[in-house]
Amino acid sequence: MQLKYTLFYLLSIPLFGLTPQESLKELVDGNNRYVMDKLLYADHTSDRRLTLKQGQTPFAIVLSCSDSRVIPEIIFDQSTGNLFVVRIAGNVAGPVELESIEFAAKVFGSSMILVLGHESCGAVKAVTKDNIKDIPAIAALIQPAVKKGAKLELAIKDNVRYIVKTLKNNPDLKQLIDAKKLDCIGGYYKIQSGRVELLE
């Protein structure tokens, strides 16, 4: 771990001012700690809360599924104040989720957006099985990327890649991405290993 990060951890200061590459590295390092049972942030103390009294500077935005097994702060081993998280079944980016992501990128200066799909996602599975009566609005956002009968793992990854493309083409986000202040990448979370595979 780099020295400057060690200082942030020791002083319980939220990470800030990271480049997109540094933000991604922080997420990858945090996931490695989670996989190896070496969590730094397992103890969420009142000291940490006090450092956030004046405001927040989350270094990354995570768009993840509402699935109770996929909790970004835990699987990336991050403190309160470090991640701006949008959670919705199927990790879809409808108008409301998009607005939330744009807000964080513009106001807080978060430098990385991670779209996180996961193994055995029920929302994507419902679309592949054409059993969408309980989630019609969410399914409508997955269907451009996923066809009925598609293999589940492939469908989940296709859904993530489609959302990454959507976000990268959003005019407000594109401006930040072109200026190298922001980037967006997809990931696939494996429930048993806890590992997040990055999707190119």
Phi and psi at 197, nearest 5°, equal -90, 125
CA dihedral 48, 54, 60, 65 (to 10 degrees): 80
CB-CB neighbours of 1 under 10 Å: 10
CB-CB neighbours of 42 under 10 Å: 11
Within positions 66 to 85, which residues make up the interface with Zn ion, using CB under 5 A? 67
Q: Does 97 bind Zn ion (CB under 5 A)?
A: no
Q: Does 88 bind Zn ion (CB under 5 A)?
A: no
| Closer residue to Zn ion (CB): 121 or 184 | 121
CB 62, CB 76: distance < 8 Å: yes
Q: Does 65 bind Zn ion (CB under 5 A)?
A: yes
Give the x/- contact pattern for Zn ion in 11-50, rule: CB under 5 A: ----------------------------------------
| Least distance (Å) between residue 6 CB and Zn ion | 34
| Least distance (Å) between residue 135 CB and Zn ion | 11
- List, in sequence order, every beta strand (DSSP E) within 133-195: 183-189
Residues of the shown chain interacting with Zn ion in the complex, contacts defined by CB under 5 A: 65, 67, 121
